Amino acid sequence: MLTIRKQQTKEGPLVELSGTIEESVNFEQLIGAVDGVLTVKCRGITRINSVGVKTWMKYFQSLKSQGVRFRFIECSYSVIEQLNMISNFACGGEVVSILLPFSCVACQNEFVACCNTAELKASNLQVPKAKCERPNCGAQFDDDPEEYFYFLED
Ligand SMILES: [Zn+2]
The CATH number for 15's domain is 3.30.750.24
Contact 107, 134 (CB under 8 A): yes
Distance 36 CA to ligand 1 centre (A): 42
In a domain, 123, yes or no: no
Distance 108 CA to ligand 1 centre (A): 6
The number of domains in the chain is 1
Report pLDDT digits (tens) over 37-75. Answer: 999 999 999 999 999 999 999 999 999 999 999 999 999
Distance 149 CA to ligand 1 centre (A): 25
Query: Which residue segment(s) compose the domain that 23 sits in?
Result: 2-95
Residue 154 has pLDDT above 90, yes or no: no
Report pLDDT digits (tens) over 80-134. Answer: 999 999 999 999 999 999 999 999 999 999 999 999 999 999 999 999 999 998 8
Q: Within 13 Å, how many C-alpha atoms sit on residue 6's CB side?
A: 12
Distance 145 CA to ligand 1 centre (A): 21
